[in-house]
């Protein structure tokens, strides 16, 4: 090897061996939540859209590119976002719609390789070297990426930025560099050139504290870091962190793409209208969810060992806690007890936006069941059915956060443009219609109901 890293590294610690081809791909949808909203709401296409907590202390989850031009970005407070871009459409997130689209995208990625590592609903690594592609030259990879972008566009109507490189680091940087709707292959051997001029904060693991320490030793760019002897970086950041970053600065990253195990699971979750901070109330909801999960499992003749609780905090941080039983169960009380216990370990004092209970590690109810093959599809079906059910925690009167899908007996499918003072304003349109008309109704109008998103 002839990289600077190779020359300076101590003999005792072998260097990661870079791949000889740009066969790791990073796919990242552009402004995902906002793009789904613009796809499903034709009147918002080309306009600023902000998805997030719409209340006084909410934060921006995703801003469309039109809104970003006003300086609005993720994690900004909703109050500041409104001040910067008062004309934007402010929408509550529709996670069920985002999840449905995410499933389509992840399936497309799995057609490229069995090694797909999702990072979030809209972002994943793909190891093309495991996919049996005959041509992994830079041009070959570019053709694979271009075809993927086209299929994502056809199937979901969305644009994805794709980067490829000889490592996860390089692939992710490549997809970032060319956003939105990008396609960039950084060829093997070109890593140093690509990295040198970028701020050091582009490296994973460089947060505010690390970047302050690096600034103190004169490091602002990745190239500055790469130019230092390893010992100086280790002295500033400690052995493990220092060496890790020094290697990354040289484009040396041998982290493997790890496919998520395809484990069947049955789960149910609800997003609350108002954040709930009362642990007793949350525990009661978890109990009801456990009963629903077990009900579905039994119908699908499944039992499972791992119980999970998922919570989303007011700032959209999502946490999952799970515990594994010694033997599979299909007992609602056991699932509920574990779920309560897991929930008890979460700080709910700031309130929860969302709570979910799931069981995974599922096995067929009866060993050697002749019809076991039939149960393979049962879990996803159960999930779909659960999503369509009314929420456990739903108030008795329907609620109409902005952006929510609704159905009107006379006017069809639409979405809530605004609500207040006993009125709901609805725009009647779907992804396949031209921009629609707006009408207002009394909240009590029985012809108007919340509806699940239209998915394909």
Least Cβ distance, residue 154 to Mg ion (angstroms): 19
Q: How far is the CB of 28 from Mg ion (least distance, A)?
A: 4
CB of 33 to Mg ion, least distance (A): 9
Neighbours of 374 (CB within 10 A): 12
Smallest distance, Å, CB 98 to Mg ion? 11
Can you state the angle between helices 138-156 and 95-110, rounded to 10 degrees? 140
Least Cβ distance, residue 222 to Mg ion (angstroms): 22
Between 79 and 119, CB nearer to Mg ion: 119
CA distance 182 to 174: 9
Q: Is the peptide bond before 180 cis (omega within 30 degrees of 0)?
A: yes
If the CB atoms of residues 58 and 163 are measured against Mg ion, the closer one turns out to be: 163
Q: Which two tokens stand for residue 436?
A: 């629609």
Q: Which of 361, 360, 358 is nearest to 342 (CA)?
A: 358
Contact residues toward Mg ion (CB under 5 A) are 28-29, 32, 122
Element containing residue 448 per DSSP (H, E): strand 448-450
Catalytic residue among 21, 37, 66, 123: 123
**CB-CB neighbours of 306 under 10 Å:** 17
Report the residue number, 73 or 407, with the smaller CB distance to Mg ion: 73
Tell me the CA distances in angstroms from 298 to 20, 268, 308, 362, 373, one per residue in order: 50, 15, 18, 11, 16
Q: Which is nearer to Mg ion, 29 or 290 (CB)?
A: 29
Residue 214 contacts residue 234 (beta carbons within 8 Å): no
In the sheet that holds 123-127, the strands lie side by side as: 116-120, 123-127, 24-29, 160-165, 183-185
Q: Give the nearer residue to Mg ion in terms of CB position, either 122 or 383.
A: 122
- CB nearer to Mg ion: give 106 or 276: 106
Distance, CA of 447 to CA of 308 (rounded, Å): 38
Least Å distance between CB 259 and Mg ion? 20
Two tokens, residue 3: 């990289």
Examine the residue annotation and report whether 123 is marked as an active-site residue of this protein: yes
Non-local (6+) Cβ contacts of 257 within 8 A are 24, 115, 116, 117, 125, 126, 127, 130, 168
Contacts of 300 (CB under 8 A, 6+ apart): 266, 375, 378, 379, 381, 382
Catalytic positions are 123
């Amino acid at each position: 090897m002839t990289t600077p890293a190779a020359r300076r590294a101590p003999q005792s610690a072998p260097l990661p061996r870079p791949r000889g081809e740009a066969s790791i791909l990073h796919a990242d949808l552009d402004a995902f939540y906002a793009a789904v909203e613009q796809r499903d709401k034709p009147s918002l296409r080309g306009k600023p859209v902000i998805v997030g907590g719409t209340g006084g202390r909410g934060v921006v989850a995703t801003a469309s590119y039109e809104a970003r031009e006003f300086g609005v970005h993720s994690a900004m407070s909703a109050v500041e976002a409104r001040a910067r871009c008062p004309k934007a459409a402010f929408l509550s997130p529709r996670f069920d719609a985002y999840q449905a689209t995410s499933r389509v995208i992840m399936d497309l990625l799995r057609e490229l390789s069995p090694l797909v590592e999702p990072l979030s609903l809209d972002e994943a690594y793909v190891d093309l070297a495991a996919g049996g592609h005959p041509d992994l030259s830079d041009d070959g990879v570019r053709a694979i990426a271009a075809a993927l972008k086209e299929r994502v566009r056809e199937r979901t109507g969305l644009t994805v930025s794709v980067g490829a490189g000889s490592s996860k680091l390089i692939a992710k940087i490549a997809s970032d560099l060319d956003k939105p709707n990008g396609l960039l292959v950084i060829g093997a051997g070109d890593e140093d050139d690509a990295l040198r001029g970028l701020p050091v904060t582009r490296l994973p693991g460089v947060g505010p504290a690390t970047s302050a320490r690096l600034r103190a030793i004169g490091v602002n760019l990745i190239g500055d870091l790469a130019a230092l002897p390893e010992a100086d970086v280790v002295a500033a950041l400690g052995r493990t962190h220092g060496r890790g970053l020094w290697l990354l600065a040289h484009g040396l990253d041998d982290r493997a793409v790890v496919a998520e195990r395809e484990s069947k699971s049955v789960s149910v979750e609800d997003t609350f209208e108002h954040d709930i901070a009362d642990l007793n109330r949350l525990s009661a909801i978890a109990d009801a969810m456990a009963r629903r999960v077990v009900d579905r499992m039994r119908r699908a003749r499944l039992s499972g060992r791992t119980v999970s609780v998922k919570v989303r905090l007011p700032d959209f941080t999502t946490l999952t806690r799970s515990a594994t039983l010694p033997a599979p169960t299909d007992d609602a009380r056991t699932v509920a007890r574990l779920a309560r216990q897991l929930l008890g370990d979460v700080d709910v004092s700031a309130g929860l936006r969302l709570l979910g209970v799931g069981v995974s590690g599922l096995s067929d109810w009866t060993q050697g069941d002749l019809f076991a093959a039939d149960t393979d599809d049962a879990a996803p079906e159960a999930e779909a059915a659960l999503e369509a059910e009314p929420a456990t925690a739903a108030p008795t009167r329907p609620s109409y956060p902005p952006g929510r899908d609704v159905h009107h007996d006379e006017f069809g499918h639409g979405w809530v443009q605004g609500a207040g003072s006993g009125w709901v304003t609805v725009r009647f349109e779907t992804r396949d219609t031209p921009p629609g008309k707006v009408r207002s109704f009394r909240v009590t109008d029985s012809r108007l109901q919340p509806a699940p998103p239209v998915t394909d």
